Amino acid sequence: MVQMEINKRPFEAQEGETILDVVRRAGITVPTLCHIEGLTPTGACRVCVVEVEGMPGLVPSCSYPVAQGMKIYTHSPRAIRARKTIIELLLADHPDDCLYCVRNNRCDLQGLAADLGVRTQHYGGEKSAYREDVSSPAIIRDPNKCILCGKCVRVCEEIQGVSAIDFIGRGSRAHIGTAFDEGLNVSSCVNCGQCILVCPTGALSERSYVKEVLEALNNPDLTVVVSHAPSVSVTLGEEFGLPAGTDVDGIMCAALRQIGCDYVFDTAFTADLTIMEEGSELVHRIKNGGALPMLTSCSPGWIKFVEEFYPDLLDNLSTCKSPQQMMGAVIKSFFAERMGLDPKRIFSVSIMPCTAKKFEAARPEMMHEGETPDVDAVLTTRELARLFRMRGMDLKTMEPETADTPFGERTTAGKIFGASGGVMEAAIRSAYMLITGEELGDLNVKAVRGLEGRKEARLNINGLDVGVAVVSGLGNAAKLLDEIRAGRNDLHFVEVMTCPGGCIAGGGQPLDTDLTSVQARLRALYQLDETETKRTSHSNEWVQRLYREYLGAPLGEKSHHLLHTHYAKREVLL
């Protein structure tokens, strides 16, 4: 142990810890703009500087290790003055449009300016002028608001392994951009939005479809149908001051109806439908020598990643559409027919934890009868909260309501789709029944649960030894795919989630997402799974009825036409 002083109080620390680790554990707030928990510190922003007695200069607390007898002053006049100067210099080259910025009141730079008492502009001069990148259907990039903290670059490269953006130029002309400084739409970006979660300013944001949804709600000629993803109900409450993991499913349904939505469905229903199709596809591949391991296809950022970097494994991808797109497809076919509605007069809205879902909805493969999109607009959890606030909704005071039939019923197997490992666990529960004709004795497949980036298990199903793997975060996925490329052949089924931890930590979730909140969301989903009675996708009565009355059978002609798709190799600028 290292003995030291922080602000004239004695503290102990482990050898090798950084000053920032120790002062935060001591309950002292030292600001930072570039630090990412779990990654090697860079000390780039210098906002975390502290004064150490006996040292001539200030040191960055995020990257400086503690030492025996060290005396640290976290908020000395010198340290505060340095931080304030850094913020003032950043503001000197920052747009003065805070009132119009999507991050107004949620901006780290704005918050630090307020905390440090920046009230006057001490530095002037010509501001940088960059072109805003609006080419992507999912992410808007405004380099004028970038403070060059590098967090987006590090997440994209070190966690996701995509490297779609990097530092360009030198000196005062340095900025962050794509290869050849082209638009995100022709880059290797997979639209996951993890860069948005770590960006401290409004330099990165999701492309908003709130305006389009409001116009649809105000159009009497349109029937607005909304479906919400499994993870949204355990994250939305955080935007309204509720504890992380609070399930606001029924309250969200009530709020959606109050703002004018005609029908509210639960995408966990089509998560159950996905399991029926995907489980049947897996069994068919195993029995008929299909491409193995089969890779899940629920996460659109992951799909684009395979199309770009692993096109040789495209045959391994499940042909199933994601639950979002399955919902859009059945809304504009079965639901439209039963309700006597013109599919072109239905405005289908998805509430998703994911920015890549915006990209997915715009794919040409996701068109109803080749003319109209299955899903017309995608809102993130953040956008839905923004829409509710615009309409004066307070989720803490509302009474819950249930989702509409026929697509309101769901099982907890569909609900746990929101967590890494949830798709796999749901698939195992139903695949066991599809292969053996019997229910799995213990439905809790704990080997695939948790926030670890990679989990593997072996299962004995009626004498068949089945190998499964679960990975989240594309960097982890790439390592497993490299093993498969190199000849690994002991796996049958692989679940991949683009975002680390799964949809509960998706790029469209609340901006304050951290490990503590993600853990609370995870517990909430599995608590629902423990307390409810219907825990297998094949026990969803409405799913079975949909097959009987419309689709026929899993992998049948009609279900294949509506619920399955194909993917192709993509060429990108590198």
Catalytic residue among 136, 208, 227, 318: 318
Which residues 6+ apart lie within 8 Å of 313 measured at CB?
A: 295, 306, 481, 484, 485
Question: Cα–Cα–Cα angle for 409, 362, 366, nearest 5°?
Answer: 60
Place of tokens 């659109």: 300
Question: Which candidate, 545, 320, 279, places its Cα nearest to that of 431?
Answer: 279
Residue 176 makes CB contacts below 8 A (sequence gap 6+) with 143, 146, 148, 150, 152, 153, 165, 166, 167, 168, 203
Active site residue 157: no
Q: Is 53 one of the annotated active-site residues of the chain?
A: no
Of the residues 146, 298, 354, 499, which is catalytic? 298
- Residue 565 CA to residue 314 CA, distance in Å, equals 12
Residue pair 377/215 in contact by the 8 Å Cβ criterion: no
Query: Six-digit token pair at 217?
Result: 């709600």
360 is catalytic: yes
CB 234 within 8 A of CB 292: no
Separation between Cα atoms, residue 482 and residue 66, nearest integer Å? 39
Q: Looking at 304, 332, 357, 415, which residue is catalytic? A: 357
371 in Cβ contact with 364 (< 8 Å): no
User: Which residue of the set 192, 320, 354, 503 is catalytic?
Assistant: 503
> Has 189 been annotated as catalytic?
no
Catalytic entry in 12, 15, 365, 549 = 365
Q: Please compute, for residue 326, the number of CA atoms within 13 A of its CA located in the half-sphere on the CB side.
A: 31
Element containing residue 495 per DSSP (H, E): strand 493-497
Residue 103: other Cβ atoms inside 10 A: 20
Active site residue 76: no
Backbone angles phi, psi at 50, to 5 degrees: -130, 165
Active site residues: 278, 281, 298, 318, 357, 360, 365, 503
